[in-house]
Amino acid sequence: MRYYIADCHFFHESLNRQMDFRGFASGEEMNAYMLEKWNARVRYNDEVVVLGDLSLGKPEETMELLDKLNGQLCLIRGNHDCYGLKKGWSDARFKWIRDYTELRDNGRKVVLCHYPVFCYNGQFRTLPDGTPRTWMLYGHVHNTQDRQLVDSFVRLSENTVRYDRKGQPYRLPCQMINCFCMDADYTPLTLDEWIEKEKIRRLSLSL
């Protein structure tokens, strides 16, 4: 099984009081809760793709955390993932670390980057019934005004009409999903679970 999650920010205690307002009493309480939610879902052979900003802890703290997290870990580097530049760090716990990648997930193409990619590779590819064949998963924007800007772009894209080679009109697909950890109660989710959660979120916002 493959799961995805973004912006856990382990050890980033100030997110309890600003930006995310996570509400935990301490960084230790936040870390313990996120670790519990992760390991309640993920098993040893499962793969978890972290879409950036896993931990802001010191190298030794983060490496100790990695040993406690279940699963085969893959990392899309975020702006806070600078571990390799610090003394005492090892990448051994990760299956791979990349800035950007494209994978296959149950017959679908998944474009992965910490930052939202507005015109992503394969965006216009759909099945004959209109079902999307490509999804763009990202993080970085948390639940901020930047996320509202991304939502505005998605809405603008999907309301834009183009014409195919036969002159038939169609609306632009824009399947971008912010895999922000708080949206999933800090639990890594499958692609299908993120798709369903995003569908519900868009309906609630009338996107």
Q: What confidence tens digit (pLDDT) does each residue in 22-43 have? A: 999 999 999 999 999 999 999 9
Closest CA to 54 of 146, 191, 192, 186: 186
Angle, nearest 10°, between helix axes 27-41 and 59-68? 30
CA distance linking residue 155 with residue 182, whole number of Å? 23
Domains located in the chain, CATH noted: 2-205 (3.60.21.10)
Identify the pLDDT of residue 134.
Answer: 96
CB distance 51 to 139 below 8 Å: yes
Q: Is 53 exposed, middle or buried (0-12, 13-18, 19+ CB in 10 A)?
A: buried
Provide the 8-state DSSP code for 59.
H
Length of the chain measured in residues: 207
Closest CA to 113 of 79, 137, 81: 137
CA distance linking residue 40 with residue 36, whole number of Å? 6
Distances (CA, A) of 54 to 4, 8, 25, 89, 108: 12, 5, 20, 15, 25
For residue 34, count other CB atoms closer than 10 A to its CB: 22
Instruction: Tell me the one-letter amino acid at 171.
Output: R
Identify the pLDDT of residue 204.
Answer: 85
Identify the pLDDT of residue 129.
Answer: 79
- Residue carrying the six token digits 């802890």: 57
pLDDT along the chain (207 residues), means of 10: 98 96 96 98 97 93 94 95 73 94 96 97 85 95 95 91 86 92 98 96 80
CA distance linking residue 60 with residue 38, whole number of Å? 20
CB distance 146 to 118 below 8 Å: no
Identify the pLDDT of residue 88.
Answer: 72
CA distance linking residue 95 with residue 93, whole number of Å? 7
